[in-house]
Chain A
Amino acid sequence: MILEFLISAVGLGALYALLTIGVALLFGVLGLMNFAYGEIILAGAFAMYLFRDQPWLVALLMAIVFAVVVALLSERLAFHPLRNADPVTLMIASFAVSLAIQSLARMTVLPRTRGVAPEDFLAHRVDLLGADVSVLDLLTLALCGTMLVAVAWMMGRTSLGIQLRAAAEDFQMASSLGVRANLVIPSAFVTVGVLAAVGSAVLVARQGAVSADMGLQPMLIGVVGAVLGGMSSLKGAALGGFLLGAATALLESLLPTDLIAFRDAFLFSALIAVLVVRPQGLLSGAKVRVS
């Protein structure tokens, strides 16, 4: 019972951490609060729907392709021309991109909610140390965990990661020291696309539904998690997302039936309490980067 709960709570935490990093990465590198993040997730989810009859791994690969293409297109068409604009302009632009993609999806391919049937192997249940857990929960944990480790490795050990971190720290200084903006920014978008695609694959496997406005909630989770952990630190963002997911699972299992409807009220009250004590977020330095 405890182990089952732990696996599901940690799985949800890892998924939320994944969503959060996608938001925090672009904020760090570009100063971009990307509200179109949900639509990158939508692109991945739509691929999961489109290729639902193919093997799951094929669908996952296609989800990555779709999400990366949408992420790159949004960079090229909307954010590239605004590269030197201030953060508020970028944020408004991301709203526009979000609404445009969402409306386009609704008018063309997703006028109403579509269902994606569960994969047999994911619905399978296994016995793990006496606990009865589903493959989906284990896969969520493994997939999101792997992605988190991969991002940490990329940021810490590769040249690209160092350039990304340098750009996140001080974009102007980094570019005068030879970090090429035209390489760093698109690769940040590609990374976000891959993270969003993995997130969307897990979301679709859990929910089974794909609709034009499905990106809204994951995007909000990403933003809230990033604020909680500290916008300027990727580690902090991951921690914030993880705590948000784990706290959600904990509230679901502890709250009495009458109060479950108000789960989010409890969750966000706790969030406000944390932000009163640490307005810069959990793992952020004392200085808050505004742009």
Chain B
Amino acid sequence: MLSSARPFSGRKAILAAAAAASLLVTAGCSDSGSDDASGDSDVITIGFALSQSGNMAPFDVEPGNAAMLRIKEINDDGGVDGKQIKTVTKDVRSDPDTVGTAATELVADGIDLLVTPCDFDLSAPGAAVAQAASVPSVSICAGDPKMADTTTLGDYVFSANAGSDVEGATGAAWADAQGWSSAYLLQDESIEYTKSAGRYFEAEFEELGGEVVGNDAFPGGDNVNISSQVSRIKGLATKPDFIYVASWNPGGATAIRQLREGGIDVPIVGPAALDGQVLLDIVGDSASDVYYTGFACYVYCTGADSAELDAFVTDYQAEYDSEPASSYALLGYTMVSAIANALEGADSLDGADVKAALESAGPVSTPIGEVQYFSETCHKIIDMPLSVVEVDQGAMKFVGQQQVDGIPDIGDENACAS
């Protein structure tokens, strides 16, 4: 027993030593690498901690690509105040633990600004690391209002999106403009984004004089089965004018499909996370009267007739050999425009100065119009013009743009509420 164990453990020790040695070597390499990143003040270094894989990848990959595209354009045009933008990327694999580690490494590399994933739950660990180091972090498109609240995660945390509160309120405003007065709220309970979309939809719709005649919930996620919810809606004494489905893809698209298959034919309205080719594929050719408040109408959606959007799609396709599959891609592109716009007036690249520059920058021109990004109290977009898109028998059509000036205060300490 002993004699047979010895050579084995000896070999193990050699292996361990070899492994330790190789670790030392790689550690040495990355040390020398980080000197390059922090030492040069003529470049702006932006760290990207996004998911290239996992369940959040569909929301991160394309906005990340679009951001890189915009950075390339800016660099080709001579950079920001003559400074080139340099990027460092790490794959966080849709895992909150990895986000924290990636952010720690990027901050240690000396980045000037951190870009975190398109979701509050995933961004939070990364944003917390950056906050502790006084490095501003911008979520590429997280929609939960807490992402932009200067007290939840900290005052160095921003989100380059309007947020699900604005999306919910905008959906309510649009429905009200259609003359619809009674709503039914079908709430997906799976993530913070969907919960706040539902809450703010309800608050805004009631503020505008509408009535939410009933609500129901489903757990959401990958495995959606809402047959009981469907029979409860069918059992209502009076049909609501429309149903607001506060959900996200693909579960939300499945819920809409099951509503239609269940024989419920009233209009359906939903937030931007339903956007994309996959909604069209899941609900199929027979579904119609489905609306959502997206960020743009392009590629799989017709009728927006915008030369700037077409140019974005053409450039994106030229760079990545495929068209964007959802309008989230545009958010990455416009985020870089907003950051570059802000940094043009920055005193230095110190964390505090970059933060001040982001808060005080004026509106920036984007393919969907002028957008005011951040202010001192609200670290996200409020008056974003959202594109209402209609799903009609296998096609997506641009209905119009809808905007809200403010969002209702529902007592959840949302600093962006009016």
* Those of B311-366 within 8 Å (CB) of chain A: 325
CB interface residues, A 129-176, toward B, < 8 Å: 132, 134, 136-137
Contacting residues, chain A, for B251 (C-beta < 8 A): 209
Candidate in A1, A111, A136, A218 with the most chain B CB atoms within 10 angstroms = A111
Instruction: Give every chain B residue within 8 A of A249 (Cβ-Cβ).
Output: 225, 227-228
Q: Is the CB–CB distance between B229 and A208 below 8 Å? A: no
Find A116's partner among B217, B260, B263, B281 (CB 8 Å cutoff).
Answer: B281
Contact partners of B283 in chain A: CB under 8 A: 115, 117-118, 208
Q: Determine whether the beta carbon of B53 is less than 8 Å from that of A134.
A: no
Does chain A have a CB within 8 A of B406? Answer: no
A206 interface residue per 8 A CB criterion: yes
Interface with B: A4-12, A68-76, A283-291, which one?
A: A4-12
What CA separation (Å) do A249 and B228 show in the bound complex? 7
> B38 in the interface, Cβ–Cβ < 8 Å?
no
Q: Is the interface of A mostly helix, strand, loop or mixed?
A: helix
Is residue B367 within 8 Å, beta carbon to beta carbon, of the partner chain? no
Q: Which of B61, B189, B218, B282 contacts A115 (CB 8 A)?
A: B282
Please tell me if the beta carbons of B280 and A115 are within 8 angstroms of each other in the complex.
Answer: yes
From A208, A214, A216, A263, B284 is in contact (CB under 8 Å) with A208
Q: Which A residue sits closest to B185, measured CB to CB?
A: A257
- Give the distance in Å from the alpha carbon of A8 to the alpha carbon of B278 in the complex: 26
A252 touches B261 (CB 8 A): no
Contact A207 B235 (CB under 8 A): no
Whole-angstrom distance from the CB of B262 to the nearest CB of chain A?
7
Q: A132-B263, A134-B261 are in contact. Are A113 and B53 (CB under 8 A)?
A: no
Contact with A along B209-236 (1 / 0, CB 8 A): 0000001111101111111110110010
In the bound complex, what is the Cα–Cα distance between A116 and B254 (angstroms)? 10
**A112 adjacent to chain B (CB < 8 Å):** yes
B261 touches A264 (CB 8 A): no
Asked whether, in the complex, the Cβ of B219 is within 8 Å of the Cβ of A261, the reply is yes
CA A164 to CA B414, docked complex, whole Å: 62
- Contact of B286 with A111 in the complex, beta carbons under 8 Å: no
B250 beta carbon closer than 8 Å to chain A? yes
Q: Is the CB of A208 within 8 A of B215?
A: no
Across the interface, do A1 and B231 meet the contact criterion of CB distance under 8 Å? yes
Is the beta-carbon distance between A209 and B282 smaller than 8 angstroms? yes
Interface size on B, residues (CB 8 A): 47
A260 pairs with B217, CB closer than 8 A: yes
A207 / chain B contacts, CB cutoff of 8 Å: 222-224, 250, 254, 282
Residues of A within 8 A of B (CB-CB), count: 42
Contact A209 B219, beta carbon cutoff 8 Å: no
CA distance A262 to B260 in the complex (A): 25
Do A260 and B218 form a contact, CB below 8 Å, given A5-B231, A113-B278, A117-B281?
yes
Chain B: which residue is nearest A263 at the CB level? B219
Q: Are A118 and B225 in contact (CB under 8 A)?
A: no
B279 and A123: CB pair below 8 A?
A: no
Indicate if the CB atoms of A211 and B222 lie closer than 8 Å.
yes
A123 touching B231, Cβ below 8 Å? no
Interface string of B248-290 (1 = CB under 8 A from A): 0111011001101111000000000000011111111110000
Q: Is A114 an interface residue (CB 8 A)?
A: yes
With contact pairs A5-B231, A112-B325, A257-B217 given, residues A125 and B263 touching in the complex (Cβ less than 8 Å)? yes
Please, how many angstroms separate the alpha-carbon atoms of A258 and B217 in the complex? 7
Contact (Cβ within 8 A) B254 A208: yes
Residue of B nearest to A123 (CB): B261
B408 at the A interface (CB under 8 A): no
With both chains docked as a complex, state the minimum distance between the C-beta of B195 and any C-beta of chain A, in angstroms: 9
Residues of A within 8 A of B187 (CB): 257
A4 CA / B219 CA spacing, docked (Å)? 21
- CB of B58 closer than 8 Å to a CB of A: yes
**A112 and B58: CB pair below 8 A?**
yes
Contact of A208 among B53, B61, B227, B253 (CB under 8 A): B253
A253 touches B228 (CB 8 A): yes
Does A106 have its Cβ within 8 Å of any Cβ on chain B?
A: yes
Q: In the assembled complex, which residues on chain B have CB atoms less than 8 Å from the CB atom of A261?
A: 189, 217, 219
Contact A257 B228 (CB under 8 A): no
Shortest CB distance B166–A (Å):
24
Q: List 21 A-B contacts (CB under 8 A).
A: A113-B250, A114-B281, A115-B282, A115-B283, A136-B261, A137-B227, A206-B225, A206-B258, A208-B257, A209-B222, A211-B250, A252-B228, A252-B229, A253-B228, A253-B231, A257-B187, A257-B217, A260-B216, A261-B217, A263-B219, A264-B219
Q: Which B positions have Cβ atoms within 8 angstroms of A?
A: 53-55, 57-58, 61, 187, 189, 215-219, 221-229, 231-232, 235, 249-251, 253-254, 257-258, 260-263, 277-286, 325
User: Other CB < 8 Å A-B pairs besides A114-B278, A115-B277, 7 of them?
Assistant: A115-B281, A208-B283, A209-B251, A213-B222, A217-B222, A249-B227, A253-B231
